[in-house]
Amino acid sequence: MSAVPKNPPSASRSTADWQAADAAHYLHPFTDFQALARKGSRIITRADNIYLWDSDGHKILDAMSGLWCVNVGYGQQALIDAATAQLAQLPFYNSFFQTTTPPAIELAELLAEVAPPQFEHVFFCNSGSEGNDTVVRMVRRYWDLLGQPERSVIVSRHNAYHGSTMAGASLGGMSGMHAQGGLPIPGIVHIEQPYWFEHGKGMSRDDFGLVAAGWLEAKIQELGADKVAAFIGEPVQGAGGVIVPPATYWPEIQRICDKYGILLVSDEVITGFGRTGRWFGCETFGFKPDLMTFAKGVTSGYIPLGGVMVGERIAKVLIGQGGEFNHGYTYSGHPVACAVALANIRLIQRERLVERVRDDTGPYLAECYAALAEHPLVGEAQTCGLMGALLLLKGKASGEAFPAAAEVGMVCRGHCFAEGVIMRAVGDRMIIAPPLVITRAQIDEMVALIRRCLDKTLADVRRRGLL
């Protein structure tokens, strides 16, 4: 008799039963536990391609790729087979003590191939947060080895998201996170984000990009260049609301970092692996980082894996000067995660998904969003590759926002769930990042659902006298 039951008991549990057990035992991330227990979780039970099904059998178009990660969509047999084969062959061995495994080596090799040319080396972690913790330690180790230990401050930006560990949340610029747990840790400072709508009105976008980059130079001058180790940013801020910077911003950031010899770190956890229509966001925006954090799309979220691509400027010192780098995780280079990443990246290559986003689906989404910009609720519609944002405004022409307490974004999000499409609300910015396998016909389907949700939200705000 098989040890594995054909119908595990879980298959027969009702939604209410799941919700009760969930409320009794499971503390979810970034959640008001009491409020969720009252309301009950949504239980997702299966998925295929770009669609999810919940425990009541409702079909939902996943316009957020899980959590910005399922780039190749759900149900890809090549990834499932790679995991299964590796589990059977060698489910685990570590990369400590002068040892490693073939999948970790092959993935390092393949990442060096798809990453920009300055990257020949990689350090593996399990998540984006751990990747950014590694960045902090590696940046400081680099300056220590060069005999400049006082060069330790890392400059980041308000409203950035770099993870939820102590260093990740400190690098991030989310005030709600800093308020809990005494963050940021010492040696991390923040400048304002390049969000034209909030900080640049009255200027052209290109002029504003130069002004926003100039805030980095002002901060360097305030601190003293000999104290500043690195600047970190997401090419496009994801969790902050899909804030697409002006085209002038990143080249100017690069010029400033070069001028003062400061390391440039691109957090590619969301923008990596094709999301912006290039393999990495830094290629879309024209800059050349010294370090790149990645996670999410490297395995399309099928299994946890993250890491840091290490540019030659840093690798030369870390390797060339010798000495042990006292950092690493049990699961650094986990063979199953690496095997899935290999299958995932090869699938992206085989299906030419990056080129498809660049030449076909990305431009098509941009066209559809230009049409949505005409909707009476939409004050700004932006896309970059397969990321998109719609800013819901009270004053379409004046730029006036709805009162925050009206929670118009959350109202819209409620309609999205009811209509069968997942969008995220960041304040009143409605954001999407659908799987890169989405077709034009599926983009039409997604945009029609979004339009219906905007219409319903418009009816609500009119009924409530907000417009």
Alpha carbons 169 and 129: distance in angstroms, whole number? 8
Site string for ligand PXG, 84-123 (x = CB under 6 A): ----------------------------------------
3 state DSSP class of 465: coil
Which range of residues in 145-153, 159-167, 194-202, 338-346 is near ligand PXG by CB under 6 A? 159-167
Near ligand PXG by CB under 6 A: residue from 133, 217, 234, 283: 234
When asked if residue 163 is in the footprint of ligand PXG (CB under 6 A), the reply is: yes
**CA dihedral of 274, 276, 281, 286, whole degrees rounded to 10:** 120
List CB contacts of 365: < 8 A, sequence separation 6 or more.
383, 386, 388, 443
Which range of residues in 51-59, 94-102, 155-163, 220-228 is near ligand PXG by CB under 6 A? 155-163
Which range of residues in 20-28, 81-89, 231-239, 455-463 is near ligand PXG by CB under 6 A? 231-239
Quick one: which of 102, 104, 143, 145 has its CA closest to 123? 104
- Taking the complex as a whole, the smallest distance from the CB of residue 175 to ligand PXG amounts, in Å, to 15
**CA dihedral of 427, 391, 208, 188, whole degrees rounded to 10:** 20
- Taking the complex as a whole, the smallest distance from the CB of residue 293 to ligand PXG amounts, in Å, to 6
CB of 162 or CB of 278, closer to ligand PXG: 162
Near ligand PXG by CB under 6 A: residue from 217, 252, 267, 290: 267
When asked if residue 209 is in the footprint of ligand PXG (CB under 6 A), the reply is: no
Near ligand PXG by CB under 6 A: residue from 127, 134, 170, 382: 127
Q: How many CB atoms lie within 10 A of CB 58?
A: 13
Q: Which helix (H) or strand (E) holds 179?
A: none
Burial class (CB in 10 A: 0-12, 13-18, 19+), 162: buried
CB of 133 or CB of 217, closer to ligand PXG: 133
When asked if residue 162 is in the footprint of ligand PXG (CB under 6 A), the reply is: yes
Which range of residues in 78-86, 128-136, 195-203, 393-401 is near ligand PXG by CB under 6 A? 128-136
Decide the pairing of beta strands 59-61 and 119-125: unpaired
Instruction: Say how many residues touch ligand PXG, by CB under 6 A.
Output: 18
Touching ligand PXG, residues 340-369 (CB under 6 A): none
Near ligand PXG by CB under 6 A: residue from 104, 115, 256, 269: 269
Alpha carbons 44 and 325: distance in angstroms, whole number? 41
CB of 327 or CB of 462, closer to ligand PXG: 327
Q: How many CB atoms lie within 10 A of CB 465?
A: 6
- Taking the complex as a whole, the smallest distance from the CB of residue 145 to ligand PXG amounts, in Å, to 26
Burial class (CB in 10 A: 0-12, 13-18, 19+), 298: buried
When asked if residue 65 is in the footprint of ligand PXG (CB under 6 A), the reply is: no
When asked if residue 239 is in the footprint of ligand PXG (CB under 6 A), the reply is: yes
- Taking the complex as a whole, the smallest distance from the CB of residue 69 to ligand PXG amounts, in Å, to 8
* The three-state (H, E, C) secondary structure of 367-383, written as one string: HHHHHHCCCCCEEEEEE
When asked if residue 129 is in the footprint of ligand PXG (CB under 6 A), the reply is: yes
When asked if residue 161 is in the footprint of ligand PXG (CB under 6 A), the reply is: yes
Touching ligand PXG, residues 410-439 (CB under 6 A): 424
When asked if residue 274 is in the footprint of ligand PXG (CB under 6 A), the reply is: no
Read off φ and ψ for residue 429, nearest 5 degrees: -95, 120
Touching ligand PXG, residues 166-185 (CB under 6 A): 168
Which range of residues in 173-181, 210-218, 267-275, 310-318 is near ligand PXG by CB under 6 A? 267-275
Residue by residue, DSSP assigns 261-294 as T-EEEEE-TTTTTTTTSSSSHHHHHT---SEEEE
Contact status, residue 189 vs residue 155, Cβ threshold 8 Å: yes
**CA dihedral of 190, 195, 197, 201, whole degrees rounded to 10:** 80
When asked if residue 238 is in the footprint of ligand PXG (CB under 6 A), the reply is: yes
3 state DSSP class of 153: strand
CB of 173 or CB of 362, closer to ligand PXG: 173
Near ligand PXG by CB under 6 A: residue from 36, 37, 47, 67: 67
If phi > 0 it is left, if psi is from -120 to 50 it is alpha, else beta; for residue 253 that is alpha
Report the chain's C-alpha Rg in angstroms: 23
Near ligand PXG by CB under 6 A: residue from 70, 295, 377, 437: 295
Distances (CA, A) of 131 to 43, 91, 141, 173, 270: 29, 23, 15, 17, 13
- Interface residue list for ligand PXG (CB under 6 A): 67, 127-129, 132, 161-163, 168, 234, 238-239, 267, 269-270, 295, 306, 424
